[in-house]
């Protein structure tokens, strides 16, 4: 019987397989950041171990880093101490590090792909659940805990039970203003936050094949929000074109050999998935969340659901709690929800195409009075590219704040946070209670919806804007 993409990559990394044991998998790339690694390095020191493969390990700083005044000492002493701990650990063990201020610094899941380190058919891990992002290249990539970070540092392997496989097939054309973000939010709403538990999801079908690498990363990124540790997309010409010429991509004959292997990384026609989900792209629309988990979402044109409409008691209870926390009323039109803050950034939507999409909507328009808009590029490289294209000027000209790279308001470990009761439209990945700041309320949206929302002050899509509200290019 044929094998799925996930099974092929898995099989190619089995170091040891024995009855009654999980498979021992080799890890091709280990990404580190400051939050989930300190205790792992401590563990190595305690047992007098070293990093087995420094050449497969790389670190950057992202979660705690400020997005303002990055040339000054970090104000929060605890954040500063954590970054200093990473620097000390990397120096002591010899790990390559891109610290704040370095041109390759940025959100770890933006940095790996842009360096060309994330490649098809590799295994990628990081102490961060959004490691699933790298699956966009046909890599098997998943988030791990700190004990596993230590395990990989010491052994370059992980014992793992083999997950089941799920296909999410999306056929057809995505309608105008419908993005990869809307697609994945719709998938999560359909299968639920636990729907992917125990599975590796493979996204496939004509609508997925037409997506750019950056859009594919947005989709794979949020696999974890459906409960799946990993999401994958088969590598194709789009993947190869993205990788060609990047700093760590193979060159010359090595490139040819790599591509030859990468072309084999497709699910066989006779392979069988353990579960299948089908979606018609034409049915999709701009999608936003109304609740406190990423599965609580709906098309922007709809209304806040009535908890009483849920048959399942636990879902009904969750919806009641969510509406209470979010300060929303059942039946309220989603478009009527006013926001205080708009955040564009994160490992989900902080890449150059995301910034271009948001800028295209904002160009010649103004952020509504009383709305604060933060634009945080996913990496220094993304920021430089945006500046070269003049996107920073579009953002600042509209009244948005253009910041330095990092995770920022996605999780509010740095000063970029919502105040209690404040409401955001955010291109990030989690609308959990307090995620963006204690008492903050988050609506997950695409970059286009974020920008339109910033202009109108309430949840909106670009279709809600008229050309009349744009200042003509000559008059700017």
Per the annotation, binding residues are: 347, 407, 410
List Cα–Cα distances, 295 to 187, 191, 225, 292, 422, in angstroms: 8, 8, 8, 8, 21
Instruction: Name the minimum Å distance from CB 326 to other proteins.
Output: 14
Buried-exposed string 231-243: b where 16+ CB fall within 10 A, e elsewhere: bbbbbbebbbebb
Q: Say how far apart CA 402 and CA 313 lie, in whole Å.
A: 44
Strands (E) across 248-326 are located at 275-280, 287-289, 297-299
Based on CB atoms, which residue is closest to other proteins, 20 or 370?
20
Based on CB atoms, which residue is closest to other proteins, 170 or 444?
444
Instruction: Look up tokens 């101490």; give the residue.
Output: 81
Check binding of 240 to other proteins (CB under 8 A): no
Using CB under 8 A, which of 2, 101, 194, 245 touches other proteins?
194
Q: What tokens were used for 54?
A: 């420094």
Check binding of 469 to other proteins (CB under 8 A): no
Three-class SS of residue 209? helix
Cβ 247 vs Cβ 180: under 8 Å = no
List Cα–Cα distances, 98 to 295, 340, 380, 458, in angstroms: 34, 34, 11, 38
Annotated binding site for [4Fe-4S] cluster: 347, 407, 410
Pattern 308-337, binding to other proteins, x per CB under 8 A? ------xx-xx--x----------------
Check binding of 255 to other proteins (CB under 8 A): yes
Pattern 384-413, binding to other proteins, x per CB under 8 A? ---------------------------xxx
Check binding of 90 to other proteins (CB under 8 A): no
Q: Say how far apart CA 118 and CA 243 lie, in whole Å.
A: 9
Instruction: Name the minimum Å distance from CB 81 to other proteins.
Output: 7
Pattern 10-29, binding to other proteins, x per CB under 8 A? -----xx---xxx-x-x-xx
Cross-strand pairs, 278: 169
Instruction: Name the minimum Å distance from CB 21 to other proteins.
Output: 6
Instruction: Name the minimum Å distance from CB 63 to other proteins.
Output: 8
Instruction: Look up tokens 């459906």; give the residue.
Output: 226
Instruction: Name the minimum Å distance from CB 400 to other proteins.
Output: 24
Based on CB atoms, which residue is closest to other proteins, 212 or 261?
261
Cβ 301 vs Cβ 178: under 8 Å = no
Instruction: Name the minimum Å distance from CB 404 to other proteins.
Output: 19
């Amino acid at each position: 019987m044929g094998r799925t993409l996930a099974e092929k990559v898995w099989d190619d990394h089995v170091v040891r397989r024995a009855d009654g044991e999980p498979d021992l998998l080799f890890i091709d790339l280990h990404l580190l950041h400051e939050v989930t690694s300190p205790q792992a390095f401590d563990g190595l020191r305690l047992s007098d171990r070293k990093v087995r493969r420094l050449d497969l390990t790389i670190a950057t700083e992202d979660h705690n880093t400020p997005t303002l005044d990055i040339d000054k000492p970090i104000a929060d002493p605890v954040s500063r101490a954590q970054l200093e701990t990473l620097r000390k650990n990397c120096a002591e063990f010899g790990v390559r590090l891109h610290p704040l201020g370095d041109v390759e610094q940025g959100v770890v899941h933006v940095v790996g792909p842009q360096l060309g380190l994330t490649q098809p058919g590799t295994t990628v891990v990081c102490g961060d659940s959004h490691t699933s992002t790298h699956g966009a290249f046909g890599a098997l990539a998943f988030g791990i805990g700190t004990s596993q970070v230590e395990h990989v540092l010491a052994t370059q392997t992980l014992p793992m039970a083999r997950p089941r496989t799920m296909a999410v097939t999306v056929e057809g054309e995505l309608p105008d203003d419908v993005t990869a973000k809307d697609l994945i939010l719709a998938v999560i709403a359909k299968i639920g936050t636990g729907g992917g538990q125990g599975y590796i999801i493979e996204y496939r079908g004509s609508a997925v094949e037409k997506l750019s690498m950056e859009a594919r990363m947005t989709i794979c990124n949020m696999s974890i929000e459906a409960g799946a540790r990993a999401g994958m997309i088969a590598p194709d010409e789009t993947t190869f074109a993205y990788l060609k010429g990047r700093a760590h991509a193979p060159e010359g004959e090595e490139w040819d050999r790599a591509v030859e292997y990468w072309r084999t990384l497709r699910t066989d026609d006779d392979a069988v998935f353990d579960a299948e989900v089908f979606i018609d792209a034409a049915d999709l629309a701009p999608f936003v969340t109304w609740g406190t988990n990423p599965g609580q979402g709906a098309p922007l044109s709809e209304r806040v659901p009535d908890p009483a409409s849920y048959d399942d008691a636990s879902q009904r209870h969750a919806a009641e709690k969510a509406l209470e926390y979010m300060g929303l009323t059942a039946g309220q039109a989603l478009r009527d929800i006013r926001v205080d803050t708009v955040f564009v950034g994160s490992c989900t939507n902080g890449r150059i195409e995301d910034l271009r999409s948001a800028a295209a909507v904002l160009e010649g328009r103004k952020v509504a009075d009383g709305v604060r808009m933060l634009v945080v590029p996913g990496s220094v490289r993304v920021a430089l590219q945006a500046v070269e294209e003049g996107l920073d000027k579009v953002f600042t000209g509209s009244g948005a704040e253009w910041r330095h790279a990092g995770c920022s308001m996605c999780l509010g470990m740095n000063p970029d946070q919502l105040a209690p009761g404040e409401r955001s439209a955010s291109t990030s990945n989690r609308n959990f209670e307090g995620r963006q700041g204690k008492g903050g309320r988050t609506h997950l949206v695409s970059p286009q919806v974020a920008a339109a929302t910033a202009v109108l002050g309430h949840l909106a899509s670009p279709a809600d804007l008229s050309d009349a509200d744009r200042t003509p290019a000559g008059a700017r």
